[in-house]
Amino acid sequence: MDEKKTAASPSAETMIERAVEESVSRAVFSSVIQRREFMRLLGGAGALAALNSVFPLDAAKALAQEKPGPIEKKELKVGFIPITCATPIIMAEPMGFYKKHGLDVQVYKASGWAMIRDMSINAETDATHMLTPMPLAISMGVGSQAVPFVMPAVENINGQAITLHVKHKGVKEAKDMKGFKFCVPFDYSMHNFLLRYYLAEGGVDPDKDVQIRVVPPPEMVANLKAGNVDGYLAPDPFNQRAVYEEAGFIFMLSKEIWPGHPCCAFAAPKEFAQKNPNTFQALFKAIVEATQYAHQASNRKEIAKAISPRNFLNQPVEVVEAVLTGTYPDGLGNTKTVPDRIDFDPFPYHSMAIWIMTQMKRWGYLKQDVDYKKIAQEVYLAAGCRDVMKSLGYKAPAQNSMSHQFMLGKNKVFNPDAPADYIKSFAIRRA
């Protein structure tokens, strides 16, 4: 048994496993001292292996998990923002993933991220689509009242882009963007942090040399068309929509900054998860299953059709399809084929959370000093996600953290074990 994993963020299943192991070893050894001695001699994992030889531990675990208990709350409301990042959360309703796990979920379209935050904090929604930095920021009380949140799963990786106005077709690198007016959807978004990262790596100070405004995505397209802004780093379909409207072109996909970066996520107040453990588990499973389904490239066309109607994204099917299949016109006259333009992967690496927090610190959003690792463990339920993935028969990463490889700049590898040094390594920073 991996000690660290359970200490980090125990899911219901690991807790059951632990309880079974505990009671079996209690049954075998009459005294605590005897048991501790045995454990010390063989080591935790070795002791369990030895016990397993006399008692069918795996069978007991499976038995204990067979009946997860009744679902506390069947009818749920899940908030979402109409962008392709929310694909698994949205499609799980029309395609029956929630129903399969015994839930009656209504997905509720919200008009902006501040609204998503407030409706979730106020418990008007039970769980919600969020940007990956949001549950961290809300849990820390940064740009919000402090409410503990958990983030069981990432929704999409990649899938964003820098779109520039058609008059900027000559722009080649960040240096050429001095004086630009940019839009991002929210302060606590990967869009903001990736745009800042990209600009700063090119020697452009995002706070001094350019203007970055928070603007709702549909307004971005209208502003780009009117020439009020020079570009944006935004979620799709609004990059593809700018191409469709002949107002902009796709300058760079976000995966060209950080391949495999997380973007949107599925999150809930910790209180909801604790009060309704079985409901939370069922929801968790439905989301992971839908995310895995969306990961399969062959399912993307069917998904595009399911989520385009007015009830969900309210976008032309061809725009959503261009985003999800990765075969798209880039607005410069080329048709590109990038199958992983957007991808879906539920695993919430702690290292992703730590990178996000380093950027919050770097740009002055996070004023206080925090224990990056501790917050990452509390909010991003990596171990829980691993268990759910395994229980559904998917392969899951063995580690909760990894080093992430960036494409630009001197400091390309992010080592999650040394966040403070990482922040100091940047020339342009506010902290």
Asked if residues 8 and 349 have their Cβ atoms less than 8 Å apart, the reply is: no
Which one of the spans 120-128, 196-204, 340-348, 403-411 is the region binding other proteins (CB under 8 A)? 120-128
314 binds other proteins (CB under 8 A): yes
Interacting residue with other proteins among 17, 20, 39, 82 (CB under 8 A): 82
Contacts of 162 (CB under 8 A, 6+ apart): 195, 198, 231, 232, 233, 250, 251, 252, 254
According to CB under 8 A, which one of 28, 119, 338, 396 is a site residue for other proteins? 119
- Quick check: 307 binds other proteins (CB under 8 A)? no
- CB 343 within 8 Å of CB 296: no
Least spacing, CB of residue 121 vs other proteins, in Å: 8
Among 227, 309, 339, 364, binds other proteins (CB under 8 A): 309
Site for other proteins in 246-285 (CB under 8 A): 246
Assess 290 for contact with other proteins (CB under 8 A): no
Distance between start and end Cα atoms, the chain: 40
**For residue 298, what are its two tokens?**
């062959």
Choose between 311 and 405: whose C-beta lies nearer to other proteins: 311
For the stretch 75-103, what's the b/e string if a residue is b when 16 or more beta carbons lie within 10 angstroms of its beta carbon?
ebebbbbbbbbbbbbbbbbbbebbeebbb
Length of the chain: 431
Task: For the beta carbon of residue 41, count every other beta carbon within 10 angstroms.
Answer: 10
Residues 150-209 that bind other proteins (CB under 8 A): none
Q: How far apart are CA 209 and CA 104, in angstroms?
A: 49
CA 322 – CA 312 distance, rounded (Å)? 17
Bridge partners, residue 76, by sequence:
105
| Residues 6 or more apart in contact with residue 173 via CB below 8 angstroms | 202
Residue 122 makes contact with other proteins by CB under 8 A: yes
Nearer to other proteins, 173 or 318 (CB): 318
Residue 10 vs 112, nearer CB to other proteins: 112
Give yes or no for residue 118 binding other proteins (CB under 8 A). Answer: yes
Query: Are the CB atoms for 160 and 253 separated by under 8 Å?
Result: yes
Instruction: Please identify, among the stretches 151-159, 191-199, 303-311, 380-388, the one whose residues bind other proteins according to the rule CB under 8 A.
Output: 303-311
Pick the piece of the chain touching other proteins (CB under 8 A) from 107-115, 322-330, 339-347, 377-385: 107-115
Q: Please, are residues 102 and 85 in contact by the beta-carbon 8 Å criterion?
A: no
Residue closer to other proteins (CB basis): 277 or 316: 316
Residue placing its CB nearer to other proteins in the complex, 311 or 425: 311
Least Å distance, CB 110 to other proteins, is 5
Nearer to other proteins, 116 or 210 (CB): 116
Strands (E), 44-172: 75-80, 104-109, 127-131, 149-154, 156-158, 160-165
Non-local CB neighbours of 381 within 8 Å, separated by 6+ positions: 9, 11, 150, 151, 152, 153, 348
Rounded to the nearest whole angstrom, what is the least distance from the CB of residue 156 to other proteins in the complex?
19
| List 47, 107, 138, 184, residue binding other proteins (CB under 8 A) | 107
Q: Should residue 104 be labelled a site residue for other proteins when binding is judged by CB under 8 A?
A: no
Using CB under 8 A as the binding rule, the residues of this chain from 219 to 248 that contact other proteins are 221-222, 241, 244-246
From candidates 29, 38, 108, 394, binder to other proteins by CB under 8 A: 108
In DSSP notation, 403-429 reads PEEPSSSS--EE-TT-HHHHHHT-SS-
Nearer to other proteins, 316 or 409 (CB): 316
Binding of other proteins at residue 405 (CB under 8 A)?
no
The window from 111-119, 171-179, 260-268, 276-284 that contacts other proteins (CB under 8 A) reads 111-119
Collapse the DSSP code of 194 into the 3-class scheme (helix H, G, I; strand E, B; otherwise coil) and give the result. Answer: helix
Token output for 352: 């992703």
The distance of closest approach from Cβ of residue 317 to other proteins in the complex, given in angstroms and rounded to an integer, is: 12
Tell me how far apart the alpha carbons of residues 406 and 326 are, in angstroms, rounded to a whole number. Answer: 21
d(Cα 342, Cα 295) in Å, to the nearest integer? 9
214 binds other proteins (CB under 8 A): no
Binding residue (CB under 8 A) for other proteins from 139, 189, 254, 315:
315
The interface region with other proteins, picked from 10-18, 118-126, 130-138, 205-213 by CB under 8 A, is 118-126
Residues near other proteins (CB under 8 A) are 82, 106-112, 114-115, 118-119, 121-124, 145, 218, 221-222, 241, 244-246, 309-312, 314-316
